[in-house]
Structure 1
Amino acid sequence: MSDARGAEFCPRCGDPVPERDEPLPGEPRDRDRVLCDACYFEDFDLVDAPERVEIQVCSGCGAVRRGNRWVDVGARDYTDVAVEEVSEALGVHLSAEDVRWGVEPEQVDETTIRMHCTFAGVVRGVPVEESAVVPVKISRGTCDRCGRIAGGSYAATVQVRGVDRVPDTAEEREAVEIAESLVAGREADGDRDAFVTEIVDQPEGTDIKLSTNKLGKTVATRITERLGGSYSEAPTLVTEDGDGNEVYRVTFAVRLPKFRPGDVVDPDDGDGPVLVRSVRGNLKGVRLRTGERYEASFEEGETPDAEPVGEAGDAAETTVVTVEDENAVQVLDPETFEAVTVPNPEFYDGDDTVRALRTDDGLFVLPTDDEE
């Protein structure tokens, strides 16, 4: 209301109201601008705080439920999560300027955190302060992902096997590490559908059960890239989803090569045994008799027609007696300690000691480095 001179008075108490700037075109008009400061601040709340905030945490993986989603927060102490949830739930009056605020948590017990919230700002040119206490209740539950894992849910099985052999412990361990590393990478990217359901040790190898067929294919591909070999796919219809779509489980049968890096094999071509260096794509190695490189043909691939005659791990360190010539070197036999003459391969660098391996073709010096 206003008098004949245009002066405005508070409609609630009748006191004069200071003249205020009119809002710009398009800006909302504050209906309380006609009130004096005393009446305005009687009903004014600087902050709108909830009476209570509840946080549901998965007891399995620690994820936090936000709306209809579970979110990985990577926290062991949920105080920071509580601070964030309360901060998002607080609302500050639009009329406030130069707002400053803080939240101080108080741990009441394992499931309750009391948040002491303080706010300060300027409204109508008047400094205003306000405080609120918001209790935060932390409850435990089970997220969809952990529920699926606990229920044994899986879509793919990667079977790690060997050709004419059982994979060794190191190969099985590396296959599992590949699967777990891929899952960890996808989890870090926010993919909660990626997980290892179960790892089963079988007499013939290891079975890795995974959450999705896509993940299973990726794991099988990565294992064969790293360890050699190949894999095949065998889908099995298990059910239909709610929309009538067929749901398949896929078995990825990984077959690791017959030979492994470190094996010593005889291709039976008259040139002597080969120390296997790699079985990726096709078998590659080094001739123990000459030190020359060996590579199986494309047709032979990673499993040429060869017989295993030893393993580099069985080699024993022995002493070099003398270098006879460019083709022969004399060493002590690790078993009889007699001086014997063995081939002098290109990789022998003149050391006083060497590793020697006995095969059906005799004693051979091995390279000092068996890496590819």
Structure 2
Amino acid sequence: MSKSGEFCPRCGDDVPERPEPLPGEPRDRDAALCDACYFEQFDLVDAPDRIEVLVCSRCGAVHRGNRWVDVGAKDYTDVAVDEVAEALGVHLKAEQVQWGVEPEQVDQNTIRMHCTFSGIVRGTPVEEQVVVPVKVSRGTCKRCGRISGGAYAGEVQVRADEREPTKAERERAMEIAHEMVQEREADGDRDAFVTEAKEVDDGADIKLSTNKLGRALSKRLVEEFGGDFEEYATLVTEDSDGNEVYRVTFSVRLPRYRPDEIIDPEDGDGPVLVTSVRGNLKGTRLASGERYEARFDEEDAPDALRLGEREEAVETTVVAVEDEHAVQVLDPETFETVSIPRPDFFDTNADEVLVLKSRAGLHMVPGEDA
């Protein structure tokens, strides 16, 4: 390396020639030092003596600055690694920096982080090791505090028209609520949570953190199950600025009938397998296979007898095809040969068909793939 002709102001040794700074770039005040003197005072890493981390004992969120942050860590060691990575500083003159960390669990609340750094400075490989103790303390974040305190702004009450929601409908409604909260959490929304979700005698009650979330859940339930909802606001308090704070109840009413339910409308044309309850009531006539449709507003829902469910239909043997309108099958209870209507969905090559016996008689039922 060529010499610059200058001497180190500390030891007097020759200083190697270094590139001139670019126009406008400040001159490095340490450039006048020789390598030996420069590395005497050089620190590759700037590390704090100790790091303290406040972690929510319920959800694992980490308190940073003045807010709680969901870090998605699997345990407190992951949290400690992330916090050390945020706190350490590497010298700006270092190039090709690499580092690794080896955590040491001292006790339940203390993790000692052994960090090794390497890099190139002034063309010379350098390496430095630092040990940073991380003290983990536990608390409760604002969100978990609100949940444990039972705070909620919106309540979705799931009911049904002239019936009680099935267990499957109740469970699905609560499942959808938790799915929506998870979606919002993934987007960084810490204000979204389910305070309580439970089955009650006539449906399900779901308490949610915000009115916005309650309205969104009500809309999604109607999209999936059909029906409609109404909302009722109740003044509960005022905030610190004197603004009125309302709690909103969302009354979701599911349709009177459900898909795959078999009903007998009072129109004299026989039973119907319900296929859809979104918008109008849609279905298939079991006697003919023709399409059935009726208005399904709460006031206009057709009166009908409930005969059963598609899943209650059983297989029976086809004895003979009488004509275009009738088929002979074995009665699944008496095993006698009986004549039943031949609907459009009947497969003439079938040896067995699904049938449902009810107060309306014996009728063929289409399979789920029909």
2:259 to 255, 258, 261: 261
The AA in structure 1 aligned to 2:344 is E
Matched, 1:363 2:362: yes
Equivalent in the alignment of 2:317: 319
2:29 to 28, 31, 41: 31
- The superposition leaves residues 19-67 of structure 1 with CA deviations (integer Å, 9 ceiling, x where unpaired) of 5444333222333334444433332222111111222222111222222
- Could you tell me whether the CA contact under 8 Å between 1:57 and 1:65 is conserved in 2? yes
Equivalent in the alignment of 2:137: 139
CA separation in 2, counterparts of 1:58 and 1:25? 51
The AA in structure 2 aligned to 1:214 is K
Identity of aligned residues (%): 68
2:118 to 114, 117, 120: 120
Equivalent in the alignment of 1:173: 171
**Deviation for aligned residue 1:344:** 1.0
- The superposition leaves residues 77-107 of structure 1 with CA deviations (integer Å, 9 ceiling, x where unpaired) of 3333322221221112223334333323233
User: Could you say what secondary structure the match of 1:325 adopts?
Assistant: coil
Equivalent in the alignment of 2:208: 210
User: Could you say what secondary structure the match of 2:322 adopts?
Assistant: strand
The AA in structure 1 aligned to 2:147 is I
The AA in structure 2 aligned to 1:319 is T
- Could you tell me whether the CA contact under 8 Å between 2:58 and 2:140 is conserved in 1? yes
Equivalent in the alignment of 2:158: 160
CA separation in 2, counterparts of 1:294 and 1:300? 18
- Could you tell me whether the CA contact under 8 Å between 2:156 and 2:205 is conserved in 1? yes
1:72 to 70, 75, 88: 70
- The superposition leaves residues 148-189 of structure 1 with CA deviations (integer Å, 9 ceiling, x where unpaired) of 111111111110001111111011111111111111111111
- Could you tell me whether the CA contact under 8 Å between 1:9 and 1:17 is conserved in 2? yes
Please show how residues 327-346 of structure 1 align to structure 2 within 5 Å. 327-346=325-344
Deviates more, 1:350-359 or 1:49-58: 350-359
Structure 1 residues 311 and 103: alpha-carbon distance in aligned structure 2, compared to 1, 3 A threshold: closer
User: Could you say what secondary structure the match of 2:213 adopts?
Assistant: helix
Equivalent in the alignment of 2:105: 107
1:234 to 221, 232, 235: 232
The AA in structure 1 aligned to 2:179 is S
How many corresponding residue pairs?
A: 366
CA separation in 1, counterparts of 2:227 and 2:300? 7
User: Could you say what secondary structure the match of 1:153 adopts?
Assistant: coil
Deviates more, 1:9-18 or 1:111-120: 9-18
Equivalent in the alignment of 1:129: 127
- Could you tell me whether the CA contact under 8 Å between 1:257 and 1:302 is conserved in 2? no
CA separation in 1, counterparts of 2:21 and 2:172? 69
- After superposing on structure 2, the runs of 4+ consecutive aligned residues of structure 1 that deviate more than 6 Å are 298-302
CA separation in 1, counterparts of 2:354 and 2:259? 17
CA separation in 2, counterparts of 1:116 and 1:37? 28
**Deviation for aligned residue 1:233:** 0.5
Equivalent in the alignment of 1:3: none
User: Could you say what secondary structure the match of 1:75 adopts?
Assistant: coil
TM-score by length of 1: 0.90
- Provide structure 1 residue ranges, at least 5 long, that are not aligned to the other structure: 1-5
The AA in structure 2 aligned to 1:359 is S
Structure 1 residues 261 and 101: alpha-carbon distance in aligned structure 2, compared to 1, 3 A threshold: closer
Please report the RMSD computed on the Cα atoms of aligned residues, expressed in angstroms: 2.4
- Could you tell me whether the CA contact under 8 Å between 1:268 and 1:306 is conserved in 2? yes
The AA in structure 2 aligned to 1:141 is G
Structure 1 residues 102 and 76: alpha-carbon distance in aligned structure 2, compared to 1, 3 A threshold: closer
Deviates more, 1:305-314 or 1:11-20: 11-20
CA separation in 2, counterparts of 1:7 and 1:74? 57
CA separation in 2, counterparts of 1:104 and 1:298? 65
The AA in structure 1 aligned to 2:319 is V
Equivalent in the alignment of 2:353: 354
CA separation in 1, counterparts of 2:352 and 2:30? 96
**Deviation for aligned residue 1:239:** 1.2
User: Could you say what secondary structure the match of 1:178 adopts?
Assistant: helix
TM-score by length of 2: 0.90
